[in-house]
Structure 1
Amino acid sequence: MYTDPAGKFRSQLKAANGEVVAVGSEAYEAKSGALKGIDSVKRNAAEAGIDDLTQG
């Protein structure tokens, strides 16, 4: 988690090697909101589907 230039809280998902593999699209006013968002990703990511938008 980090604060952006506007002072809002944001998150990034990093691989084991430290490389950023996803950036959260939502900025949170409160740190507690960002932590809830991170918790939601942790709980739901394993079950998330993949939308292949390259198929046309």
Structure 2
Amino acid sequence: MRARRSRLRLRNRCADQALIDDVVRETFLALWRGSARYREREGARARAVRVVGR
């Protein structure tokens, strides 16, 4: 779902579908790989709120 929205937004700026697919793929991979670092930086309070919110 998010990838589809990202592609639609990028189509307004770029006509090259292959380039759009590459950009979306690389962006989501970077977010996936960086998620561990993001959570490490997360404070104890934010972590507690996230766990309780489940």
What TM-score, normalized by structure 2, do the two folds share?
0.36
Structure with the largest fraction of helix: 2
Larger radius of gyration: 2
What TM-score, normalized by structure 1, do the two folds share?
0.35
Structure with the largest fraction of strand: 1
